[in-house]
């Protein structure tokens, strides 16, 4: 059975972001796709300190929920990141969390589905959405789209539940994720090979 990790990046455990993630969970679970929800919590989240220890150890030197996800990473076929919009971007704790998660394990994300969902009262949704998708598109993940950018509007779960188009967008995203997971599985069974990537180049812009 396929499994999708849902990361609730809001400090609020059962707020608007959760309401949208829950809509997605209900949609995919109807099609036998399992979900696991991780709430990053409402305590300060440490940012990446650029120690690069993870390059050799494969885990983050700051031992928190980031490492719990890394330990189980191979069991997830997709990752959905949910964020409230703070000043036109994702909230700070979530970015700190994702910087460490993806710096440590970007090379283990290839081929997984990725999607972000943002919740805002009024504005800044697409900037936040674009910022979150950057994690997926630098990690050879398959970014899943919907009928609109994945955003819901509201200041409370009740308001989000009244955002009918927003929730429909989330359900469409869920349907697209299910279809892609089934397609990938069917491809694997019929012998479609995962890409054999070239040796990774890392250059900067200084010419020698
Ligand atoms: C610090 C802060 C900044 C916010 N900035 C924005 C913003 O730029 N645009 C917006 O529409 N809503 C903004 N909001 C409102 C939240 O994005 C909105 O209420 C969201 O749905 C909350 O989701 P949650 O319940 O999952 O935390 C802000 C809220 C906070 C606390």
Number of domains in the chain: 1
50 found inside a domain: yes
122 found inside a domain: yes
Q: Please identify, by atom number, the ligand 1 atom nearest to the C-alpha of residue 160.
A: 21
Phi, psi of 196, rounded to the nearest 5 degrees: -100, 100
Q: What burial class does residue 1 get, using C-beta atoms within 10 Å of its C-beta: 0-12 exposed, 13-18 middle, 19+ buried?
A: exposed
152 found inside a domain: yes
Question: Using CA atoms, how far apart are residues 177 and 136, in angstroms rounded to an integer?
Answer: 15
Question: Using CA atoms, how far apart are residues 47 and 138, in angstroms rounded to an integer?
Answer: 19
Per-residue pLDDT of the chain in tens (208 residues, 90 and over written 9): 999 999 999 999 999 999 999 999 999 999 999 999 999 999 999 999 999 999 999 999 999 999 999 999 999 999 999 999 999 999 999 999 999 999 999 999 999 999 999 999 999 999 999 999 999 999 999 999 999 999 999 999 999 999 999 999 999 999 999 999 999 999 999 999 999 999 989 888 876 5
Question: Using CA atoms, how far apart are residues 5 and 119, in angstroms rounded to an integer?
Answer: 18
110 found inside a domain: yes
Phi, psi of 80, rounded to the nearest 5 degrees: -115, 125
182 found inside a domain: yes
CB of residue 119 inside a 6 A radius of ligand 1: yes
Residue 86 to residues 68, 74, 121, 129, Cα–Cα distance (Å): 26, 31, 10, 12
199 found inside a domain: no
CB of residue 168 inside a 6 A radius of ligand 1: no
Contacts of 69 (CB under 8 A, 6+ apart): 5, 7, 38, 101
Structural domain range at position 49: 3-189
CB of residue 96 inside a 6 A radius of ligand 1: no
Is this prediction's pTM over 0.85? yes
Ligand 1 centre from 61 Cα, in Å? 30
CATH number at residue 7: 3.40.50.360
208 found inside a domain: no
30 found inside a domain: yes
Q: Please identify, by atom number, the ligand 1 atom nearest to the C-alpha of residue 15.
A: 25
Ligand 1 centre from 111 Cα, in Å? 31
Question: Using CA atoms, how far apart are residues 146 and 131, in angstroms rounded to an integer?
Answer: 17
């Amino acid at each position: 059975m396929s499994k999708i990790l849902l990361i609730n990046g809001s400090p609020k455990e059962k707020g608007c972001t959760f309401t949208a993630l829950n809509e997605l969970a209900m949609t995919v679970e109807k099609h036998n796709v399992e979900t696991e929800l991780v709430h990053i919590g409402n305590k300060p989240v440490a940012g990446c300190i650029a120690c690069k220890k993870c390059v050799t150890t494969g885990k983050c030197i700051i031992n928190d929920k980031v490492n719990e996800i890394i330990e189980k990473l191979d069991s997830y076929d997709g990752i959905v990141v949910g964020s409230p919009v703070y000043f036109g971007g994702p909230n700070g704790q979530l970015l700190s969390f994702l910087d460490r998660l993806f710096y440590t394990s970007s090379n283990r994300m290839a081929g997984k589905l990725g999607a972000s969902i943002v919740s805002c009262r009024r504005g800044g949704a697409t900037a936040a959405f674009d910022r979150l998708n950057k994690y997926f598109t630098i990690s050879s993940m398959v970014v899943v789209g919907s009928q609109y950018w994945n955003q819901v509007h509201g200041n409370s779960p009740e308001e989000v539940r009244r955002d009918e188009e927003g929730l429909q967008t989330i359900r469409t995203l869920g349907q697209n994720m299910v279809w892609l997971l089934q397609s990938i599985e069917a491809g694997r069974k019929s012998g479609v090979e995962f890409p054999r990537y070239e040796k990774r180049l890392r250059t900067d812009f200084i010419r020698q």
